[in-house]
Structure 1
Amino acid sequence: MIEYFEHYLQEDCPYGDETTELLQINGEGTLNILSRDEGIGACADDLEQFYKNKGLDVTYRVENGEYFEGGAVIFSAQGDLRELFKLWRVSQTFLSIVCAIAARTHNFVEAARKENPDIMIATSRKTHPGFRKYELKAVKVAGGTHHRNSLSDSILVTQNHLDVADAPEKLKAVKKIEIEPRDNDEALKYAEIADVLLLDHYSPEEMAVIVTKLKKINPNLEIAVGGIKSDEIPQYAPYVDIIVSTAPYYAQPLDLTTRIERT
């Protein structure tokens, strides 16, 4: 995954660090990234590999899935000061995003499993371009999972598909088939052939009623719900198997700061 960081660095430092060169900064130093916010560690191991590739030593990094309090150091490195200054901003921004995603996911998982210990929090493929690998990893290390990683790894018949395709009453596939029905009638109709039904725009009360009917038709059917707000998770969790959300990807980045010192 080093090539991703090379791309991020190329965006931030395409022709060299003009300030560091003007100040003629040389020698060895240390870099410490601290968080003013509490959070959950994610992807610092990937950042470590990038640092090693640049000839720097990583002396500490927060573990994947590890909780940290505000004021904690979450990443430390030492080596050439010029390299540390080049990597500083990219590293800080990267960790602020992925650790926030992990923290938001963790909060969702905790809220949902208080009501349903077996429920899954699954994020969609609506990731930011060029950042999918890390966003998905941040979700996973915090106890979440992926609803879909790409168009190639699963089958999801959406309402748009139903509008233009022939009726899929006889679908068969090696992979699980998930269908997003447009109304109650379609939900009941496709319950027999689907492995998963994705139900949107139902109130918790409506969900309780329709899920009871669907499970009678197909006891092995999994029910997913999307399009709900984070504070609604406890209300839906008792009735569904999967909560699909994009919200973790849009978590407010953590407030991080970096200190670089000469050794």
Structure 2
Amino acid sequence: MLIREVESFIEEDLGYDDVSCTIVPDRPAEAIIFTKEDCTVAGISEAASIFIYFGIQAETDFKDGDRLSKGDTIFRLRGGAISILRAERLSLNFLGHLSGIATLTRNCVDAVRKHSESTRVACTRKTTPGIRKFEKLAVAAGGGDTHRFNLSDAVMIKDNHIKLMGIETAIKAARKSSFTRKIEVEVESAEDAVLAAKLGADIVMLDNMQPEVIRETLALLEEKGLRKSVLVEASGGISPANLEGYAKTGVDVISMGSLIHKSRWIDISLEVIRSEN
């Protein structure tokens, strides 16, 4: 985490007159951070950046992506009492939120692996403004694919692009932008998937298609000799509840905005265990 990011988060949390932490005698103290439930942990480096800024000595045996059991100690902290209290909520917010994303992602990846060894589970750009990179890195910690971090990573031609300029014109324009960026086209029918593949799209995203329609589309691409020349992504309305049906289709990528915006925070706490008189 960059220092300017840490300072921005601290400014938001402490305000200009911290009357909560400064009432405590500022003496050396020790504390632990532990999880109250099983999880896949993420946010280790973000929390560590906060501790470093406050001059807190932090030790951990874990890294992002490790599976933790209820009661595991994530960090052992030593530092000034006021600094530990000031770092508490901010570090716990990152650990709880990002571990929730990593845990949900890991569960989804494990579910897909029961049916396919090659299908990737990816997130989308449905992220919280200001902390996208942290949320996407939490997806990676859970074994998922980060997809695009921003609009500069690849060209995605979506439905509104197509309404404004058509598939063929959009793909031609995308090719002129850069030879290094992949081109992804969002389609809503098997016919458009074939057209996009014929026009040289690198990735075809099947938007809001039911699993049976996806299988039919994949079969049509195979029949046309196009299946091996394009990656096929399924997206739209996919959740842990219906993930199995999509995992069985044979698509290359399943993207889920729900990995981030429907993840549940993990219950993680900080407890002071010793202070000097």
- The TM-score normalised by the length of structure 2 is 0.89
Deviation at 1:148, TM superposition (A): 1.3
Deviation at 1:185, TM superposition (A): 2.3
Kindly indicate whether the alpha-carbon contact (under 8 Å) linking 2:123 and 2:145 is maintained by their aligned counterparts in 1: yes
Select the residue among 175, 189, 192 that pairs with 1:186: 192
Kindly indicate whether the alpha-carbon contact (under 8 Å) linking 1:181 and 1:199 is maintained by their aligned counterparts in 2: yes
User: Which residue of structure 2 lines up, in the alignment, with residue 21 of structure 1?
Assistant: 22
- Higher mean alpha-carbon deviation, 135-144 vs 160-169, is at 160-169
Q: Does 1:232 align with 2:242?
A: yes
Distance 1:46 1:94 in 2: 7
Distance 1:215 1:178, change over 3 A: farther
Q: Cα deviations across residues 146-179 of structure 1 (Å, max 9, x unaligned)?
A: 2211001101100110000144266335221110
Amino acid in structure 2 at the alignment position of 1:221:
V
- Tell me, which stretches of 5 or more residues in structure 1 are unaligned? none
Deviation at 1:72, TM superposition (A): 1.5
Distance 1:3 1:215 in 2: 51
User: Which residue of structure 2 lines up, in the alignment, with residue 262 of structure 1?
Assistant: 275
Kindly indicate whether the alpha-carbon contact (under 8 Å) linking 2:190 and 2:216 is maintained by their aligned counterparts in 1: no
- Name the % identity: 26
Select the residue among 221, 227, 232 that pairs with 1:223: 232
Q: Does 1:177 align with 2:187?
A: no
Kindly indicate whether the alpha-carbon contact (under 8 Å) linking 1:204 and 1:235 is maintained by their aligned counterparts in 2: yes
Distance 2:121 2:167 in 1: 30
Amino acid in structure 2 at the alignment position of 1:244:
S
User: Which residue of structure 2 lines up, in the alignment, with residue 132 of structure 1?
Assistant: 132
- The two structures, once aligned, show a CA RMSD in angstroms of 1.7
Q: Does 1:205 align with 2:212?
A: yes
Aligned residues: 262
Q: Which runs of 4 or more aligned residues in structure 1 lie more than 6 Å from their structure 2 counterparts after TM superposition?
A: none
- Tell me, which stretches of 5 or more residues in structure 2 are unaligned? none
Q: Cα deviations across residues 73-104 of structure 1 (Å, max 9, x unaligned)?
A: 11221111110111111111110000111111
Distance 2:269 2:57 in 1: 20
Deviation at 1:184, TM superposition (A): 2.7
- The TM-score normalised by the length of structure 1 is 0.93
Deviation at 1:16, TM superposition (A): 4.1
Select the residue among 226, 247, 259 that pairs with 2:258: 247
